A and B are shown apart, each in its own frame.
Chain A
Amino acid sequence: MLKILKYSFYEMIRSRWIFIYSGFYLIASMALLLLSNDISKVLISLTNIIIILTPLIGILFGTIYYYNSKEFIQLLMAQALSRWSIFTGMYLGLAAALCISILIGIGIPLIAYGVLGSAELSLFLLLITMACVLSIVFSLMAFLIALKFDDKVKGLSISIFVWLFFAIIYDGIFLLLLLGFKEYPLDKLTISMIVLNPIDLARILILMKLDMSAMMGYTGAVLSKFLGKNIGMIIISFSLLLWVILPLWTIRRVSMKKDF
């Protein structure tokens, strides 16, 4: 498995796209720093970029990568290797490459600017972690989609739809539900809706750091406890972990059964 991880990782970092990806983050964060000179403003802008972009890139990269290395996977399957180690090795190589390009792209400019000594350090660390977690979750989904659908076009369009769903449509439905049932207590509905969307989970975790003063204005008992205390942090982290474990488990099941 480690050997496959190594090969897949080397292949990824030799790819042109991963360079462009980290280059984009590098340029974006440097440009923001040069434009505003205020680290908290830069972090807010980066939050918006990360929440939209990392899931999109994660899911597209993952699907394309799987389809491109399909022959290689089939070749590996002819060897005396378990399917599980082949898929986890391939996947971990991809995820590691994505996370490293985020760390380089956002980490280097901000550290060079001096975020480590500033008051915003915890927000910065949270932001980087959430970017990595979102990449991991969405590239997992990408692998799952690509495994399920052999047709390249179908697989790609489904991954784009999945991103669209979690990034925009889901929040639209969420808001409609809230508006439609505003006469009822909505605390529990809100929490369960958050838990079911990894992008929302990451966003709320960042919000709890960024907009705490506004969050404290909310009066509902259950939700304000969720938002204000450490319990919320724990539940969110746990749900994000589930969002990693569940797709991983499904990949295992699907890959074992699949007839290549």
Chain B
Amino acid sequence: MKILCIAISFLSWTSIFGNRIEVCPTCAFTTIEEAYKSCENGDTLEIKAGIYKIPNWKIQKSIVVRGEKNTHLISQSGEEIITVEKSNVTIQNISFSGVVTNYLKENAAIRVKRCKNVNILNNTIIDCFFAIYLERTKHTKVYGNTINGNKNNIDRTEAESGNGIHAWHCDSILIAQNDIMHHRDGIYLEFVNNSEMNDNRSHDNSRYGLHYMFSNDDSYRRNIIEHNGVGVAVMFSRRIIMTENTFAHNWGHAAYGLLLKEIYDAEISDNKFTENTVAIFVEGSNRINYLRNSFRKNGWAIKFSGGCESNKISNNDFLYNSIDLVVSSQLNNNTFNGNYWSEYTGYDLDNNKIGDVPHYPVKLYSYIHNQVPESVVLMRSLFVDILNFAEKVSPIFTPKDVKDDAPKMNSNL
């Protein structure tokens, strides 16, 4: 028994504190290939500062690859740089560049393929086609990376630029504290379940800041999503939790802070939506709770398209949006309750901080604007205000049952 214990502790000792192998122009190993060949499972490969041009490097041993401040790996022929094919690999503190656009293969600076427990920490990836590509991986952590695509990606077509972090068929992954810019999608997730995206900053991407497709039971918190084509697009997914994120300055013809399509049972709470053309665009999404969000100075705060039922919109702040709400159908069973609307003109005689008359957030003008987009120039005109007032007194075009029965007199947040 004793011997067994010693044996186990010795084994774990070697596996945790494996050999350190260094690579530098004056070290025992001068190229990464040679050094990698002498590596065994559990070893640490330290790449000293310098520029290394390497062909595709397949990591098939469980090692830690660690760089220094100026360790820079450049793809020799524009191909993929690192392909991880073994579990328990860590890649840390390395700069990557030189992966070029390829229309046949989705080449990435780091690709993780069919394995578990891979950590990608504090790397810098500049001007690569795809930056980090996770393929059928589990329990993987992507943390603290800086990913900067090509500035010209804004002008390129979507096919010409790749995603910052691309995850496909993954489970239980964590993507946190990354700074992603100038890619097609900042973070793209397809068939990714039980995962978390926290504290990332995704900005200036040509398509989406964060993009979910067919992914369930995920959450994203405290991310900052700015200046993207569309901030976050969540499509065909269930049970996604979205909290404490900031969506700002997503401007343009088809620009949304948050785009929801076929989403069920999600929770959207404590987010800030500031100066987006459309803060939330919803299509065919049911049983979603919108709680304690702040919508400030957006063109449209929430735009409901067809087939949105049983949504609950409570305790949000709607501040100075050009148009607070658009609903496309007369029928709806969405509930609005306890929101603060800066447009509310009611009174509070019993002084319980809740307005005594219900607020009707859908205005006639938003209906007209839907019919004739050119009428955007008539916003805030006295004539339009008179029309809105007349419609408010006796609703004909706007749905009567879209109303907040208990509008707050003061801001919720």
Contacts and interface: CB of A to CB of B under 8 A. Distances in A.
Interface of A: 40-41, 44, 47-48, 51-52, 167-169, 171-172, 174-175, 178-179, 182, 186-187, 190, 194, 200, 203-204, 206-207, 210-220, 223-224, 227
Given A175-B383, A213-B299, 7 more contacts: A47-B380, A179-B372, A211-B380, A213-B275, A215-B299, A217-B252, A223-B374
A51 B380 contact: yes
B323 interface: yes
Contact of B371 (A40, A41, A51, A179): A179
B413 interface: no
Interface of B: 251-253, 255, 275-278, 297-300, 320, 322-323, 342, 368, 371-386
Contacts of A207: 377, 379-380
10 contacts: A168-B383, A175-B375, A179-B371, A200-B377, A211-B379, A213-B277, A213-B297, A214-B300, A214-B323, A219-B373
Contacts of B381: 171, 200, 203
Nearest to A189: B374
Contacts of B375: 175, 178
B322 to A, nearest CB: 4
The 10 closest A-B pairs by CB, nearest first: A214-B299, A214-B322, A171-B383, A213-B299, A211-B322, A217-B277, A186-B374, A171-B381, A216-B251, A178-B372
A181 to B, nearest CB: 9
Contacts of A211: 299, 322, 379-380
Nearest to B386: A168
A214 B277 contact: yes
Contacts of A47: 380
Given A186-B374, A214-B277, A175 B379 contact: no
Chain A facing B: main interface SS = helix
A214 B297 CA distance: 9
Contact of A182 (B276, B371, B377): B371
A28 B185 CA distance: 49
Nearest to A182: B372
A204 B99 CA distance: 47
A80 B210 CA distance: 77
Contacts of B277: 213-214, 216-217
Nearest to A181: B372
Contacts of A171: 378, 381-384
A206 B322 CA distance: 13
Contacts of B382: 51-52, 167-168, 171
Contacts of A175: 368, 375, 378, 383-384
Nearest to A190: B374
Given A171-B382, A200-B381, A217 B278 contact: yes
Contacts of A227: 376-377
A64 to B, nearest CB: 23
Contacts of A178: 372, 374-375, 378
A48 B300 CA distance: 20
B307 to A, nearest CB: 22
